[in-house]
Amino acid sequence: MTRIADLSIGESNFDARFLKIMEDSKLEREEFEGLDYFTWVPFFVIAGATVAPKIRVHGDHTHFEGATVDVPEDQLIFFFEALPHLLAQVHAAHEEE
């Protein structure tokens, strides 16, 4: 698996190709819990990514700290081809509103 994004509260890290796709999509970062692009996670999954939560456990309770976005190495090309098309559909739908 290749990590293409580490969405952490207050500081996210992105693969350069992934970040360019997101910036070119013109979709807002729309922070949820301080996480860049978290709103668009379902589209990352549809394009082929696996998203896993980052949880910190403190005794009897937990804290959500973010999520990681990974893509199987042999599917990266397909992911990077599919994601812009999916996001373009979202952008078009937002413009119609």
Q: What is the pLDDT of residues 56-71, one digit of tens each?
A: 888 888 888 899 999 9
Q: Name the pTM for this structure.
A: 0.87
Q: What is the pLDDT of residues 11-64, one digit of tens each?
A: 899 999 999 999 999 888 877 778 899 989 999 999 999 999 999 888 888 888
Sheet (strand 61-71) strand order = 13-14, 2-8, 61-71, 50-58
Banded model confidence at residue 95, pLDDT cuts 50, 70, 90: low
- Residue 96: the pLDDT is 60
- Residue 90: the pLDDT is 82
Average pLDDT, the chain: 90
Torsion of CA 69, 66, 46, 37, to 10 degrees: -100
